[in-house]
Amino acid sequence: MNRTLTPSPESFAQDPWKARIDRVFARALVLPLLLALGLLALLLGDTLYRSVSVQVVRADMGPGHTYPFGLSAEAILRQELLAQGYTEEEADFMLQDPKERSALFLQNRVELMWNTHEGPFRYVVTNVYDKRVADFSLAEGLRRWNELKANLQEGERLVLNPWLDQTFLTRPPSRSPLTAGIGVAVWGTVWVLSLALLLAIPVGVGTAILLEEYLREGRLSRLLEVNLRNLAGVPSIVYGLLGLALFVRGMGLGPSVLAAALTLGLLGIPVIVVTAREALRAVPESMRLAAFALGATRRQVVFRVVVPAALPGMVTGVILSAARLIGEAAPLLLVGAAAYVPFAPTGPLSQYTVIPVQIYLWISQNQPEFARVAAAGILVMLLLLSVLYLLALYLRNRFRREW
């Protein structure tokens, strides 16, 4: 009599050697991730370290005094003018007259230093004509602080300078690293990014709705899908060449905000299309069928049922696309982003600069202090990117729906 042998549960047990190999591979896959995180932390720490330095600065005019914490910038500049030999009437006129006041604040930088030769947390006034006597890294400067303080000459001051301070985001650029700021580049970035998104969002979302909800499966839809995925992987420098030929020269826009926005808009459209299509595909088919069963038309189903349900995913995709566009420098250099622009844009046809181009300009300068200004600019851009990524993460988790 033949008996059918029932395999025991032990016969299905995993081979211990295979389990060990799986564990080894799992740990090996974690190592590259830990290495990448460590390198990112090292780069961030190095950027933070370079954004703070110890300096000896010689004032072009005046004794180079520092001022106590709590005074307003206007009061500090008034005392500085009096120390330089101006009368009270002249100082009041320079602070009250609009043109003189604007020129005064452009040429002088009132900043809070973490430490000075006269005590911690004091204000100093840095003029565009002030000269750097010595510049030390944070560790070396702190180690030699007492020596540097004892050797100060008349008109010199010793400061622990955080290059990313409360006025760095609003100051215009300058030929002097002591007074350079990123305010104009921030406004240029806002102008270019806003106009680019005004172009990319309607075209990108509309294309996604057309492909997912209206266009049937066929040769045309497959062709469009393949081309969109290929465009999402095209290097940004190619879009820069297209923008140079089409917008700057072909349409005669020149090196303007509008030409840059149109170029970045084309760069952002494929990313928005891909993310918007994924959001539309995540909406269950049962919701569409239920709406059709209730007598809704195709337009009503799409714009009153499907799009509102997919909106959180679309918004997340738009934010991620904006974060990518903020860091683009190569296409904007090709379409004419100016390296030095002293004033913020006033319209779509104005000259402009953006944060990545401004950082590139600082790094290319010969003066070593510009490297520290560039480190502060990099921190600003990383902060903007972090805010956008955290906003995208919050929106995704806040409005996520379980179907």
Q: Which of 128, 162, 196 is the last residue of a domain?
A: 162
Domain co-membership, 188 together with 335: yes
Domain co-membership, 158 together with 248: no
User: Residue 1 — pLDDT band, cuts 50, 70, 90?
Assistant: very low
- Return the SS3 of 402: coil
**Alpha carbons 173 and 169: distance in angstroms, whole number:** 10
Question: Which tens digits make up the pLDDT trace of 118-157?
Answer: 899 999 888 888 888 889 999 999 999 999 999 988 888 9
pLDDT at 12: 47
Domain co-membership, 230 together with 275: yes
Domain co-membership, 145 together with 208: no
pLDDT at 5: 52
Domain co-membership, 206 together with 316: yes
Q: Is residue 254 exposed (0-12), middle (13-18) or buried (19+ Cβ within 10 Å)?
A: middle
Q: How far is CA 125 from CA 5, 154, 221, 341, in A?
A: 92, 16, 63, 24
Q: Is residue 42, in this structure, part of any structural domain at all? A: no
Q: What number of residues does the chain have?
A: 403
Q: What distance, in Å, lies between the first and last C-alpha atoms of the chain?
A: 55
Q: Is residue 224, in this structure, part of any structural domain at all? A: yes
Domain co-membership, 247 together with 342: yes
Question: Which tens digits make up the pLDDT trace of 52-101?
Answer: 999 999 887 766 788 898 888 888 888 888 888 888 888 888 888 888 88
Domain co-membership, 258 together with 311: yes
CATH number assigned to the domain comprising residue 235: 1.10.3720.10
**Alpha carbons 121 and 108: distance in angstroms, whole number:** 19
Strands 66-68 and 156-162: unpaired
Question: Which tens digits make up the pLDDT trace of 207-243?
Answer: 999 988 888 777 877 888 888 878 878 888 899 999 9
Domain co-membership, 106 together with 249: no
Domain co-membership, 158 together with 187: no
pLDDT at 8: 53
Q: Is residue 359, in this structure, part of any structural domain at all? A: yes
- How many domains in the chain? 2
pLDDT at residue 329 above 50?
yes
Averaged confidence pLDDT in the chain:
86
Do 191 and 184 touch, CB atoms closer than 8 A?
A: no
User: Residue 4 — pLDDT band, cuts 50, 70, 90?
Assistant: low
Domain co-membership, 197 together with 98: no
Residue in the block written with tokens 């101006």: 86
Domain co-membership, 100 together with 193: no
Domain co-membership, 89 together with 153: yes
Q: Is residue 171, in this structure, part of any structural domain at all? A: no
Question: Which tens digits make up the pLDDT trace of 345-373?
Answer: 888 998 889 999 999 889 888 888 898 99
pLDDT at residue 339 above 70?
no
Range of the domain at 158: 50-162
pTM, entire model? 0.83
